[in-house]
Structure 1
Amino acid sequence: MAGGASGSSKAVRIVVAGDKGTGKSSLIVTAAADTFPANVPPVLPPTTLPADIYPEKVPVTIIDTASSVESRGKLTEELKQADAVVLTYACDKPSTLDRLSTFWLPELRRLEINVPVIVVGCKLDLRDEQHSVSLEQVMSPIMQQFREIETCIECSALNHIQIPEVFYYSQKAVLHPTAPLFDQEAQTLKPRCIRALKRIFIICDQDRDGALSDAELNDFQVKCFNAPLQPSEIVGVKRVVQEKLPEGVNDRGLTLTGFLFLHALFIEKGRLETTWTVLRKFGYNNDIKLDADQLPPPIKRAPDQTVELTNEAVEFLKETFSIFDVDGDGSLRTGEIEDLFSTAPESPWSEAPYEDAAERTALGGFSLDGFLSEWALMTARDPMYSVENLIYIGYPGDPSSAIRITRRRRIDRKKKQTDRNVFQCFVFGPKEVGKSALLNSFVGRPFSNNYIPTTDESYAANTVDQLGGKKTLIMREIPDEVVGQLLANKDALAACDVAVFVYDSSYEESWKKTTELLLKVASHGEATGYEVPCLIVAAKDDLEPHMAALQDSTRVSQNMGIDAPIPISTKLGDFNNVFRRIIVAAEHPHLSIPETEAGKTRKQYHRLINRSVVFVSVGAAVTIVGLAAYRAYAARQNSSS
């Protein structure tokens, strides 16, 4: 495998900073004009090096800075726009070298300047050679402390020593940065780099035999570097790997281990451009994630439209589940899930809200339903993230074919039906009524008497069997204290297919608070046009019911035109078909919509106005018909006389 030029075509912006008198301006002028300046101004204007000066053909813009206290604001502004920072010290002034670790490098960290740093010793011609020490000796302790330092180099503008190299290394650090690829301390490839290279290896291993044959290696070389490998070169590559790592080559070709070893070797030898060329040819950016142009265009949708996986994507996921369920037990365990996502930058389900959102099997893994429910949740919350992860795990189709945008919910209400397969349910209720217990039971977790308040958004996703087939339900718990914040957004209920209001049936005060929540949500829906079907759940049915609360909840539901409260007991596992009833309510978006008194008054007013208009219209029609009849009668009278 051979290296090649790669990288972004936009100009690289390099900011030069350091103590006064360390040679910043002379360094820049000499690099640009190829002559040492007799006189230089205190601060140079932005200087551009021509694009053809370096192999990458990318122009370099160099920004000079002043180090005085009064110029600090301008310096900060420039540093924040830098692609790389050149920090200078004077070889003849050890104090300026000390200032790198006591001021300049800590200052870059304080300002959160997360770009490569190149340390440059200027005025090499003035250094006292009698007291000289090697650059490695001087810089090694500093580089250990400040890992952001990419390269150290000494130069002399007066004697034209290593001036072009300063900005070549600076440009290279931007176009081919070490930090995302390689852990300098451990001397190993970084996990995200390994995952990307593994995905590339799998793509290139066309016959899926776990090794790159000579033909596959050659195809890879042509794709990445536009030049084939000679047979002798292929033999040479494999020999280098086999000598250092016998398992890197087998009788079928170069293994994944050998492929990763080669890239580690390139990086150790400073040939980062080789690995970066490969990564960029396969669509990766500097964060080792897929570039935006590898993903579908931004999704345009109304707030009450949601995004679901298409049948094509679901079928791919079912096949993928079977492939990674190596032991065939119908469950993807932790190791199998890690293996599945080993070609993604990281596993997307290792943290909230996905970590505990789906049902686990007795073995602690995902069933197929649990697996598909996690994908449905990820697609509903962050469609682009979902598509990106589908691509990482090998989705073969056009990325746009993996997702569909549903019809607007307000159109569904008018048509009195929906074509959605995934429904989102918001669960409201005061503290300690059993909202979390309801979500836990939905994904098969056992009941617990321990109360743990929910502070962050919490989800539970699972499939529900209906007459028409399986539907996916995503339940989202809305903690009592965030309801006000949620409803401050006019589109808060746009993504909600059903709202469920939970109260403790043994406690009257609980019902009062739930009524307030129901009124708030219903009023918000009426005001914004995002009315949602609502259900009331009377939880803790195993306890003695509070009769006044029971009667009042029945009366309120009748007055508002919604179903009577559904009694459930998560403790006894008696759910009264509540999850199916939620799906049924979602499938009939025009029903179960509560009406507040204000809403009823508004409707009556509109009906009255509409009746008046109809009455006026009918009156006008009668008048016109009467006038026409009179004219016909008058005409007949005139003709008979």
Structure 2
Amino acid sequence: MRVAYPGNYPGNCHTRIRRSVLSLHEMTNDRKVRILVVGDAKTGKTSLILSLVSEEFPDIVPARSEEITIPAEVTPEKVPTYIVDYSSSEQTLDNLKDEIRRADVICIVYDVTSGESVTRLSTHWLPFVKQQTGGTKPIILIGNKDDLQHASSLDQVMPIMEQHKEVETCIECSAKQLKNISEMFYYAQKAVLYPTSPLFSPTDECLLPKCVSALHRIFRICDSNADGFLTDDDLRVFQSRCFDSQLEPDALQNIKDVIRGGSSGGLTKDGVSVDGFVFLHKVFVQRGRQETTWTVLRAFGYDDSLELQPEYVCPRFDVSSEFVVEMTLKSFEFLTQLFIVYDKDGDGVLSGVEEETLCGVSSCGVAWRNENAIALQYDTHRNITLNGFLNYWSLKACTDLRLFFTFLAENGYTFGADTHSVTSAVKMIEPAHVTSRQLFHCAVYCQSSRTVTKFLHRVGTGRHKSDVLNMMKYAVVTNAGKSLILYTSDVAPEWVDINLVIMESCDVDALESVRAVVNGIDSSRVMVAWVCDTNPDVAQIDAELVRRLDLPVIKPVGLSSEGCLPLVSDLIEAAWNPQLVKSDAGGIVLKMMLSFAVGLVAVFFTQKFFRQS
């Protein structure tokens, strides 16, 4: 149902609507609106335009007005607007067709005192304009000379509007009395910036499926505890983020009254349901307040076709080869909260249903389920843990920014983190600034893909499995507040913090092959691990041969034991301080220093505790 405005419509629509669209100025300031004014001769087209510009009725009216430019700063929407007049006495039919194609919105002016003028809307003007545009451009019907009529013409016009869905609005006005002149052009501008056709079907009197789907996503993002209802606090946050204003108690009550009066189940003791939320926006559109719904849609990244804008989902973010990328604290907190909210039973893992619910509005789907080459932490039923979830996205922030940004944007990162772009979810750091980093990178070299797969699985999942079916390429592990991504050598980035060479045996040939791998690599960035199925504590390494071949320290590691865990700690320590891998002594000295420091801290707090007691 579209809206028609009689001549006695109060001329204060600017102030009523302006407050609700202020948050869109940044989104619309790169747009412009071109309004074409057409209609039969003597209907007052030119008088309307000149009355708008001069704010008085012209004594002398030319056959056609020159093109009028209204600067952005004087329009309610802060959008530059161009008004183009048409005169059949000065222009050809080809000129008219060309202007219709260039226009964003067409205003058809008719004489409210002339029945013939009203009739020609449906017999000539609307079919002609539709023929040029294919019905894709909005049309505003303008009934002029309202000062001369005794009864509204809208009863005659409404059936015409129903037959032509491209007609957005009809408004009656008077150029002579300056009645509804600014409103006329405001609604023309509004028809371009806030079109009804993508939102609503006038035939079925319901919101269109794409609009409903978008509102469902928005509702889910705003539902802070994912219980299926928006609480009063949720609605207040929603109002603040979308409209940059507070939701007053009276306004909140009005919203509830509207939903209660028209949507069964839309309002419960728990809050507003998704059906109530969608119904509320249906009411906005039906009442001609579609700018409210568009404000919400655009705040959550939608364009005029109700598709998420590319710059919202995956904005350009150039990564220099001289920097490393990792998640910011803000994105880490967002993902943590997202996991916790959808872990409904609080068991620390996401079950299949919980995963599907969390990822239901994202085009990424349950992304981690589709990548079998990444070793992540799951429980025995292959439900991902919080650490596994965070580690997965730590990896994607480095290796697949498009997927990372898309997942965050579609799940409401810019809303939840109160930021304008998902680019704030990552940061670039110079590799040498290790004290500023929480994430490090390790390339793993091994001649046997089966052995490296078993190793990555053991490190990434924390469990030993003798028959890993999928070939692992990545593992992510967190230790003492720092994370390490391990890559097989064929997928590792050009620059890594540490290189790990895995040996399956410790004979002369194996040591020679290690020497060939590490040749040319900075020795301070190389560690060697002997992965053995026997107890690594009794493994025998020919130390003299290692010294003679000038190899780094070799650490025996048993996959079936806890031996991988100290190795991970050593790798992170070595990445943070490469000097640690130069000799055994370095590692021993560091461990002694750390132990001494921990002891001093323990003594200090013990003494402090007893003094307070």
TM-score (norm 2): 0.50
TM-score (norm 1): 0.48
